[in-house]
Amino acid sequence: MRVHICAVGRLRQGPERDLYDDYLTRFDRTGRALALGPAQLIEVEDKKGGGMVAEAALLERAIPAGSLICVLDERGRVQSSPEFADMLGHWRDQGRQDVAFVIGGADGIAPSLRDRADAALSFGKMVWPHMLVRVMLAEQLYRAASILSGGPYHRV
């Protein structure tokens, strides 16, 4: 199952980018044997300043056709890491070819795109910077692959 991280903005060089790249590399390596991955980042930018609606249009074009859509949103479901791993494994076992994790810009995701999503995931009640959410998602993808493989990374 291919993983697409569709996000508003560009992740520049720096510590967040280093962490993101490290966790995605680990996910690709661990997930390969589990039919998870590869993962790719698809970045969009609204250069005209159209806000959430314009960003939603760009994100919708970035999402591969037929993808299961999971938005990262503060109103989404809060899960434990094992629950997230189970969800990924379930989607894979259902025969999903593509899953798109969608990360909005500073103002979030437009309601029209949020309503169209198959799932909504939250990293807690706090609001996180959208660039940091990429790192957190990449780490959780790697953790999920580790859990599904029985690896030692995740400890209870």
Q: Is residue 15 part of a domain?
A: yes
Q: Is residue 87 part of a domain?
A: yes
Burial category of 17 from C-beta neighbours within 10 Å (exposed 0-12, middle 13-18, buried 19 and up): middle
Q: What is the pLDDT of residues 84-138, one digit of tens each?
A: 999 999 999 999 999 999 999 988 999 999 999 999 999 998 888 888 999 999 9
Q: Is residue 101 part of a domain?
A: yes
Q: Please count the structural domains in the chain.
A: 1
Q: Is residue 156 part of a domain?
A: no
Q: According to the model, what pLDDT value does residue 156 have?
A: 61
Q: According to the model, what pLDDT value does residue 25 have?
A: 97
Q: Is the pLDDT of residue 65 over 70?
A: yes
Q: What is the pLDDT of residues 5-48, one digit of tens each?
A: 999 999 899 999 999 999 999 999 999 999 999 999 999 998 88
Q: Is residue 154 part of a domain?
A: no
Q: Is residue 58 part of a domain?
A: yes
Q: Which of 58, 74, 62 is nearest to 107 (CA)?
A: 74
Q: Is residue 108 part of a domain?
A: yes
Q: Which of 127, 143, 80, 130 is nearest to 101 (CA)?
A: 130
| Range 48-63 average pLDDT | 93
CATH label of the domain that carries residue 86? 3.40.1280.10
| Range 56-68 average pLDDT | 97
pTM of the full structure: 0.94
Q: Is the pLDDT of residue 151 over 90?
A: no
Residue range of the domain that includes 93:
2-149
Q: Is residue 67 part of a domain?
A: yes
| Range 60-83 average pLDDT | 96
Q: In angstroms, rounded to a whole number, what is the distance separating the alpha carbons of residues 25 and 30?
A: 9
User: Which helix (DSSP H) or strand (DSSP E) does residue 72 occupy?
Assistant: strand 68-78
Q: According to the model, what pLDDT value does residue 19 have?
A: 96
